[in-house]
A = this chain, B = another copy of it.
Amino acid sequence: MPDTNEIKKTTFSDDKVRIKDIAVLANVSAGTVDRVIHNRGGVAPDSKKRIEDILQELNFKPNRMARVLAIKKDYKLVVLLPEAAQGDYWWDIIKGIKRAEEEVSDYRVKTEVLQFNQYSMESFATLAQRLLDLTPDGVLMAPFFRREVLKLTKELEERNIPFVFVDSNVESVNCLAYYGQQSHQSGYVAAKIMLGNLEKSSTILLVHMMREGGEAIGSNQTAKREEGFLAYIEKYSLELSYQLVRVNLHAEDESGNEAHLEEIFRQHQNIRGIIMFNSRIYRIADFLEKRKIKNIRLIGYDLLERNVQYLKSGVIECLIAQRPQLQGYYGLTALARRLAFHQPSKPVCYMPIDILFKENINDYKVYPFDVD
């Protein structure tokens, strides 16, 4: 009859150490070792010391599989993001989340996604409350509406619920982790690509998009991108080489935008470059296509389907991407790893600034196993 309590042979150096093994070595039962591991108290000081030493020495790591299997608790994660439509930026973040969800469902982690209207603070506030009502064990969010976010995160901190930011960060708040791009630097990169070989004294449009109230869309990312863009110009003293024209479009006013652009094009004959600091560069492309305007270098952000189409067809010269899927994926797994395995995360993780031309867009993917 095989003795299941025998210590595993250590012929292969990396044979896993079990609680049982520790117990035998420390001359106690598995239960006592378990109590030490989980700091559950009720262990005599000398036993504790002895066990801790052995744990340390053998570098004991509990078997995740057994651990997850034995724990009955389900973890509820709630995700708070703007409404997403197929092919847009937030959709990609959600794709990453879904993928992570699949992976961590083994660990008894479940996810619920709440989507607010990114132009409505009320919508955010309402869902923030709904989120709290769901008593989640962890939260992933895109921090829109600073004041509301502060209110929410304060509450979460009080309840000891870890939360993760994606897309943009809120300094001064103690999140578990943040995944997003350094906006300033990505604007700097955009400038490099735009100005690398643009003929001198030409005009460049810097396009922003406003919402109703006149506030810029895209939290404060777009502003920082422009700062980065301008920083590049300053760095290489190009202020006098190009004429920069700032253009403000309005999210909801399609025809107004067209008129406005028409006017800009009338005023400026030598427009050779256009950069848009949010993800809607395809709108500019639409405008140019319709009027058969060519030879303008378009640079924009994010791989929206429509952007990618224009990139492939050569209307857009370059897109800068920030791996939204990975932001979602890593954001969620960070929470799961924290909850299920008590693993820490880097508090801030900047996404690479990916440069996409039509020449390298085809092989650009985030997961090798993607099917869609």
Contacts and interface: CB of A to CB of B under 8 A. Distances in A.
Given A65-B68, A351-B363, A357 B106 contact: no
A181 B352 contact: no
A357 B63 contact: no
Interface in A131-178: none
A320 B109 CA distance: 38
A4 interface: no
A345 B369 contact: yes
B360 A353 contact: yes
A110 B352 contact: no
A357 B65 contact: no
A114 interface: no
Nearest to A371: B346
B179 A360 contact: no
Interface string A360-372: 1011110011000
Interface stretch (A28-36, A119-127, A185-193): A185-193
A355 interface: yes
B188 A359 contact: yes
Nearest to A366: B352
A319 to B, nearest CB: 12
A182 interface: yes
8 contacts: A65-B68, A65-B69, A181-B363, A196-B197, A349-B368, A351-B363, A353-B363, A355-B355
**Ordered nearest first, which 6 A-B pairs have the shortest CB separation?**
A197-B197, A353-B360, A349-B368, A355-B355, A65-B65, A350-B363
